[in-house]
Amino acid sequence: MAFLAASWRHSDVARHATGAEAEAGPLVAEYGEMRSQLTRLRLLAADGVVEAGQSLLRLQRRVHDVPAGPERDEALAAASRARRVVIAAAKKEMGLL
């Protein structure tokens, strides 16, 4: 949950960040939180959940790295799709699918 929450916050901040703001505190902090939470997932979750989380983390970095505009919008959409993959993997692991 904390990993996904940080992902959503990162995307929300990135959606409104421009230029130097993309390197500023909140965006960097949320990405760091995702990395920290992914470490916890590595210890506690099944491989499928971890792999989905790693993919999402990479996509969030792309959101972070591309300039505001259509390229970032595309990266945000890819991150959103990846969040759904993480959720599906977690539900499968918990027997909820």
pLDDT tens-place string over residues 26-50? 888 999 999 999 999 999 999 999 9
Amino acid 53: pLDDT: 97
For residue 54, CA distances in Å to 17, 21, 43, 60, 94 come to 23, 25, 13, 10, 19
Which pTM value belongs to this model?
0.91
Cα gap 3→14, rounded to integer Å:
16
Cα gap 53→32, rounded to integer Å:
14
Q: Which residue has the tokens 């929300």?
A: 12
What letter would DSSP give residue 46?
-
pLDDT tens-place string over residues 44-76? 999 999 999 999 999 999 998 998 899 999 999
Do 78 and 11 form a contact (C-beta atoms < 8 A)?
A: no
